[in-house]
Chains A and B, each alone.
Chain A
């Protein structure tokens, strides 16, 4: 049958299991939007294209499904860049469809023309500019496949306006024509490499697992739990790996690195075998590479060959899907006691717990602990980027994968609000909480309009210190307390702003009100913003200074009561 290019794109998205779109229409994408309406495709209208991209990202992280982001040419498309790179850095699948000026106009600096194909090369896994309607079927199929297979990532398909309206034959059953050759399939993990890892484990006295986001993406949480518990290996979760291992398990050591727990960093420094599973040795994890795990044999299981040996010298490289590798390991691993090592780890946990002092002000960590108590760790938790993000990772306890969504690699402030809205669309059965900072929140707060319009019941807790808190902390510690342009003394009243958007707002200045406001928010039928005026001088501890080794970690200064 004959269809327009836009119709074919939409049919192929549906056929590929894509159920939802986030975006904003504009001149060059109007034919696509017209067909979107005719096709009755679910679409969420946002207020900014960046918000749409983060929504699709949050949706994918919690559901494991892929969403489409739609934007018009020029500024609509360039507004996606931050969202695409956020997804690229954290290996999140999403499909961006952008309108482009009509093919005869390309290259003439036409109205709202941007070379989004060129712009998006470094921020996507792959991208296409479609210049023939007959290619759309193959390109969309391939786009979905590339985004969701192997190491996932974002893709972008740029479709000029005249290609959207061009009519061509469409056969849904046809094998895709014009598609480019397949992405190479992942080889089965090398049995010899796995054997070497098993041998190393048998000889190890002080092994540690470093579990990253790969565990979550591969659906390997159950295999990981079996492996760690059977072989009695303590587990450290990277920021993005949180939820890949139960936060309540006695073997759980929390997060490593710059703002990791003391006991995780001690374990890294003392272990004699590090088994990294789907983690990429980010600089925030390793600190100074030369003093990372100095006593350990390092085994690295990853689906991406380019991650193995990229930053850390690997003794046992294992290329493969981490779930399959763990499955093989679980068939071979023998139960072990490892009493001395586990006692040591327990002693560190007892002697160096995460802690904060009390002085009558609202401590941000306290708010997070209360959210944890109210939700029992059963919710989905999103964050922005900064101090609050680190506290959330430290003080929340995740029971299951896909429960924590945060911009790790790119550290995108403003990620939280749109991502939490997308998360609620991805998992409507879950309570979605956003722990945000005032700086991060202000960057994309316009999406409150989206939460309001679709009545998305997200619970937003702003830990408002009227500072760019992490910048302030670094200025205090490393820049002689010169607080250069990190202070927002005239922050808006976020509760009033929320009300302006038709969203329930609370402003909280008294620590005694924290619990009751959180409880009211949890019961509210609709989106809620809670503006907690927290102690502006609170810092994130422990801390490994930038460029230092994990062995140079500074613990929290003594609290007032201890002094």
Chain B
């Protein structure tokens, strides 16, 4: 099972070590981690995607809440949250393939950010299904390099409790 943790922490050096160290020390499986500023300059939001058995995912939340610098832990159910990830990918495509690549990129709402004689570099954002589908679609051209930010998430707001979003 996968779980997204949206964690608000005190913004000071060392806090990421404390959070990341917890995962290594207790043997929790981490898929991605992303950290960045929030609306409050003293607070950083860390988004972590972890997977494990349900009781283990509950333990992770409890252990995170024990950390001194952690102000809040939201366990964001995958289907009740907005999740986004930013992708940069360099696709191997010379001048003769560029048209196809551009077309495909448009279909995914991806932007072209750099072009060389051998390649096209794309930028795309979306939930991880979209990012994975996109990468799969470009596989046949050859993908030279990929950089992903890891997922960030916020729970949907203002929705009825029985509402089942699609993405």
Would you call A492 an interface residue if the criterion is a C-beta within 8 Å of the partner chain's C-beta atoms? Answer: no
B21 and A181: CB pair below 8 A?
A: no
A122 and B10: CB pair below 8 A?
A: no
A76 to chain B minimum Cβ distance, whole angstroms, is 21
**Chain B interface (Cβ < 8 Å from any Cβ of A):** 10, 12, 14, 17-18, 21, 25, 55, 58-59, 62-63, 65-66, 68-69, 71
Stretch at the interface among A305-313, A403-411, A541-549: A305-313
Chain B residues whose CB sits within 8 angstroms of the CB of A183 once the complex forms: 68
B95 to chain A minimum Cβ distance, whole angstroms, is 48
A181 and B66: CB pair below 8 A?
A: no
Residue from B21, B59, B62, B71 in contact with A121 in the complex, judged by beta carbons closer than 8 Å = B21
Would you call A126 an interface residue if the criterion is a C-beta within 8 Å of the partner chain's C-beta atoms? Answer: yes
CA distance A180 to B18 in the complex (A): 15
Interface of chain A residues 171 through 222 with chain B (CB within 8 A): 180-181, 183-184
* Nearest chain B residue, comparing its CB with the CB of A155: B68
B68 and A180: CB pair below 8 A?
A: yes
Chain B residues whose CB sits within 8 angstroms of the CB of A125 once the complex forms: 68
Chain A residues whose CB sits within 8 angstroms of the CB of B66 once the complex forms: 304-306
A15 to chain B minimum Cβ distance, whole angstroms, is 22
A180 and B62: CB pair below 8 A?
A: no
Would you call A118 an interface residue if the criterion is a C-beta within 8 Å of the partner chain's C-beta atoms? Answer: yes
B63 and A306: CB pair below 8 A?
A: yes
* Nearest chain A residue, comparing its CB with the CB of B71: A181
B65 and A305: CB pair below 8 A?
A: yes
* Nearest chain B residue, comparing its CB with the CB of A182: B68
A282-313 near B? 1/0 per residue, CB < 8 Å: 00000000000000000000001110011000
CA distance A183 to B67 in the complex (A): 9
CA distance A118 to B21 in the complex (A): 10
Most A-side CB within 10 Å, residue of B55, B58, B62, B69: B62
**Chain A interface (Cβ < 8 Å from any Cβ of B):** 117-118, 121-122, 125-126, 129, 146, 180-181, 183-184, 304-306, 309-310
With A121-B21, A122-B25, A125-B68 already in contact, the answer to whether A309 and B55 are too (CB < 8 A) is yes
* Nearest chain A residue, comparing its CB with the CB of B14: A117
CA distance A114 to B73 in the complex (A): 32
With A121-B21, A122-B21 already in contact, the answer to whether A309 and B68 are too (CB < 8 A) is no
A121 and B18: CB pair below 8 A?
A: yes
List 10 additional contacts besides A125-B68, A146-B68; criterion CB under 8 Å: A121-B14, A121-B21, A122-B21, A184-B65, A304-B66, A305-B65, A306-B62, A306-B65, A309-B55, A309-B58
Chain B residues whose CB sits within 8 angstroms of the CB of A310 once the complex forms: 59
A77 to chain B minimum Cβ distance, whole angstroms, is 16
A180 and B69: CB pair below 8 A?
A: yes
Most A-side CB within 10 Å, residue of B10, B17, B71: B17
CA distance A125 to B18 in the complex (A): 10
A107 to chain B minimum Cβ distance, whole angstroms, is 12
Chain B residues whose CB sits within 8 angstroms of the CB of A305 once the complex forms: 62, 65-66
Chain B residues whose CB sits within 8 angstroms of the CB of A122 once the complex forms: 21, 25
* Nearest chain A residue, comparing its CB with the CB of B60: A306
Chain A residues whose CB sits within 8 angstroms of the CB of B62 once the complex forms: 305-306
Chain A residues whose CB sits within 8 angstroms of the CB of B63 once the complex forms: 306
CA distance A309 to B60 in the complex (A): 12
Q: Could you list 25 A-B pairs, sorted by A, with CB under 8 Å?
A: A117-B14, A121-B21, A122-B21, A122-B25, A125-B68, A126-B68, A129-B14, A180-B10, A180-B12, A180-B68, A180-B69, A181-B10, A181-B71, A184-B65, A304-B66, A305-B62, A305-B66, A306-B62, A306-B63, A306-B65, A306-B66, A309-B55, A309-B58, A309-B59, A310-B59
Chain B residues whose CB sits within 8 angstroms of the CB of A304 once the complex forms: 66
